[in-house]
Amino acid sequence: MSMATDMQVTLHLPTHTLFEGTATQLFAVAQNGCFGILPNHIDFVTALVPSVLTLITPQGGEYVFGVDEGLLVKKGRIVDVAVRRGVQGDDLDTLRDMVRDTFVEMDENERMARSALSRLEANMVRRFAELRRPQT
C-alpha cells in the first residue's frame, strides 16, 4: 500500500469553483472544533462553520479562505468542500476585511431579493383575491 503525498482539493461555491488544486495539509473548523487533514487521513464527512480554511500546497505555499457554513467530504486523496459563501485572501488581515465587505454586500443583496419576493407574493395574492370577487 503506497502512502499519498498530497490531496486533490476542490472548494465549491453555489455559482463557481473558488479553488481546485493539490494540498499537503488542510485546516478547517467544524461544529465540534478545529481540525487538520493530511493526505492519508481517514475518510470522513463533516459540517463546517463560518471560519477560516487554510491549505498548504506541496511547494509550501499557503492559501487562506474565509468560508461560510458548508460541508467537507474526504474520500481517498479527494477532498471536496462545498460552502454557501467564500472568499480567498492573501493573509488573515486582508481576509478579515474581504469577508466583512463581501459577506455584508451579499447579506444586503439577499435582503433586497427577499423584499422584492415579498412584494411579488403580496401582489399575486391581491390579484387572486380580485379574481374571486363576483363580477357585476
61 occurs within a structural domain:
yes
Q: Are 67 and 53 in contact (CB under 8 A)?
A: yes
> Strand 7-12 to strand 78-83: parallel, antiparallel, or no bridges (unpaired)?
parallel
113 occurs within a structural domain:
yes
CATH number at 77 reads 2.60.15.10
Q: Which domain holds residue 75?
A: 7-132
Whole-angstrom distance, CA of residue 122 vs CA of residue 22: 49
18 occurs within a structural domain:
yes
Length of the chain: 136
96 occurs within a structural domain:
yes
pLDDT, tens digit (0-9, with 9 covering 90-100), for 3-27 = 889 999 999 999 999 999 999 999 9
pLDDT, tens digit (0-9, with 9 covering 90-100), for 66-77 = 998 999 999 999
Count of domains forming the chain:
1
Distances (CA, A) of 128 to 69, 115, 119: 38, 20, 14
